[in-house]
Structure 1
């Protein structure tokens, strides 16, 4: 079975890890760096409850960095800047 999972890909335990969100101005920011060939792509989600519904915006940047921690820190900074610039219109 290990050969087939290597050939066709299998979900690793890293992908199923629960991410703790960071609250910022009423939004929840989920830092979800994506591992790609020994580096990490800046990625994550921004969510907010609006009119009784959870709205979500997912984004993936082209930036690659060498550590998961760096990718998540950059994602948090970029998400905060995006929230400051766009506010609730993120979900339009």
Structure 2
């Protein structure tokens, strides 16, 4: 890779790696922390198939943490708490 492409970024289209979901009580939780100003915003989605239709709820929190793994772990805990409190009402 040349000096200029390291400085200004290459023109290759980097796709984010696919996220493996965490299963919790029949729901699939996708941890998708978002890089922002050297930190990571807590974000993700919860999905579940209901009556043959895939339902999805995406959320982005205002919290930012210094590492991606911390942001993903916090998101997982928040998603599990949200599922416990709301159940299938998440998708209404």
The corresponding residue for 1:54 is: 54
Q: Which runs of 5+ in 2 are unaligned?
A: none
SS of 2:73's partner is helix
SS of 2:48's partner is strand
Are 2:37 and 1:76 equivalent residues in the alignment?
no
Counterparts of 2:23 and 2:81, CA distance in 1: 14
Change (3 A) 1:65 1:89: same
Counterparts of 2:36 and 2:24, CA distance in 1: 28
Query: How many residues matched?
Result: 85
SS of 2:18's partner is coil
Counterparts of 2:13 and 2:77, CA distance in 1: 27
The corresponding residue for 1:41 is: 41
Q: Which runs of 5+ in 1 are unaligned?
A: none
Query: Per-residue displacement from partner, 1:23-81 (whole Å, max 9, x unpaired)?
Result: 00000000000000000000000000001010000000000000000000000000000
Deviation at 1:11? 8.4
- Superposed CA RMSD in Å reads 1.8
TM-score (norm 1): 0.85
Radius of gyration: which is bigger? Answer: 2
Counterparts of 2:52 and 2:60, CA distance in 1: 26
